[in-house]
Chains A and B, each alone.
Chain A
Amino acid sequence: MPKIRCNGREIDAPANATVAALLPPLPGPLCAMGVCMGCRVTIDGRPHQLACQTLVRDGMEVTTP
């Protein structure tokens, strides 16, 4: 099972889960299909990545706004 770190906290992630499925609640409703841009997070130092369109990878570092 891949492990990711979200805001410094380690999370066990099911394989093939999207990052969005594992995040603490973000403000507002989200479309979960890459359109609303509401789920942008920093992944491995790259800002403005769409959490709903990114699959988890072991060792991934995620920072929410």
Chain B
Amino acid sequence: MTDVVIVGAGIVGAACAYELAQAGATVELLDPNIPGSGATAAGMGHLVDLDDDLSRYSVNLWHQLAPQLPKQAEFWNCGTLWIAANDAEMEEARRKPGVELLDAKQLYEAEPHLRPGLAGGAVAKGDAVVYAPVATRWLLEQAKAKVTRRAVTSLDEIQAGAVICATGAMTAKLLPELPIRPRKGHLAITDRYPGLVQHQLVELGYMTSAQGESNESVAFNVQPRPTGQLLIGSSRQYNVETTEIDPPILDRMLTRAFELLPVLRDCNVIRTWTGFRASTPDKIPLIGHLRGNLYLATGHEGLGVTTSLGTAKILAAEILRRPSPLPPAPYRPERFQT
């Protein structure tokens, strides 16, 4: 019998496979699609410290892994520049730990194409970007894990020492008793404009969109790719199941991007697409034992790429009955069981 079967071969499942294989376990992954082709491929691959234990720990793990990653994983320590539009947001920037504050003059020196009239910003120098589908494949190769293309309809029929459900937004269908809701996002990518943007640019208001429960919201989030292309986000929508581009929300998203970075109006978008995040009510992922031999590593919303490595460490420690690198209680699924 295989020691561990992981359902879902996205970045979170792959990170769990890597971690468990390092500890000597034999691991098999089940996924109806090719590895890393769901939310892993749809997202930006922004490795971002959001001032909580799990994201900070995970960004550090990415830095430790970076020298080993293949060049095609495009790991780039470009940092995040949080944009403060006004004095109130500048106050918010000052409360962020471990950042370098920029006044307005320094902001425009760092990013000359931002719209005039902004108050300043904060640079998180440790943040980075990665091309997550390649990182996923690399983690699976390192784990020497067997990947079987198979759709799973019932987690209880799988024979293994432990079964990990790492199915992202699909968890809503597999385990409908969990409070996971798909949250649709749109992204656009431009042609190559090398040097136009130096940092991952995010408006401080982004957290209101990400952490809020609004049925539909957009926030400015632009990422320079190592190719010179620009990824443009972001949108969040509940209660939508279709994968099609939604022109009104794409319009709102791009309009917001044009407001803060007017130079984008002259750039060509070459592709747009959508994906589904796995959203939980408290915006904290579900990591840990659920029942019987079943464990969860899901519900990461927009942070799955960032927190995949930390998630894997916490879950592997629980499965292998080893000391956890972070207190695991905040992530345990039992918080939603009454």
Query: Which A residues are closer than 8 A to B by beta carbons?
Result: 37, 40, 46-48
Contacts and interface: CB of A to CB of B under 8 A. Distances in A.
B336 interface: no
B51 interface: no
Contacts of A40: 191
Nearest to B191: A48
Interface of B: 191-193, 266-268, 270
Contacts of A48: 191-193, 267-268
B272 to A, nearest CB: 16
Main secondary structure of the interface of B (DSSP, over half): mixed
Nearest to B266: A46
A52 to B, nearest CB: 14
B97 to A, nearest CB: 39
Contacts of B270: 37
Contacts of B192: 47-48
11 contacts: A37-B270, A40-B191, A46-B266, A47-B191, A47-B192, A47-B193, A48-B191, A48-B192, A48-B193, A48-B267, A48-B268
A47 B267 CA distance: 8
Nearest to A47: B193
Contacts of A46: 266
Please give me the 6 A-B residue pairs with the lowest Cβ-Cβ distance, nearest first.
Answer: A48-B191, A48-B268, A46-B266, A47-B193, A47-B191, A48-B192
Nearest to A37: B270
A37 B193 CA distance: 16
B331 to A, nearest CB: 44
A47 B270 CA distance: 14
A13 B203 CA distance: 46
A46 B268 CA distance: 10
A46 B264 CA distance: 12
A37 B268 CA distance: 11
A47 B230 CA distance: 14
A48 B191 CA distance: 7
Given A40-B191, A47-B191, 9 more contacts: A37-B270, A46-B266, A47-B192, A47-B193, A48-B191, A48-B192, A48-B193, A48-B267, A48-B268
A37 B192 CA distance: 13
B227 to A, nearest CB: 13
A53 to B, nearest CB: 12
Nearest to B270: A37
Most buried by B among A37, A40, A46, A47: A47
B159 to A, nearest CB: 51
A21 to B, nearest CB: 21
Contacts of B266: 46
A46 B267 CA distance: 8
A8 B293 CA distance: 71
Contacts of A37: 270
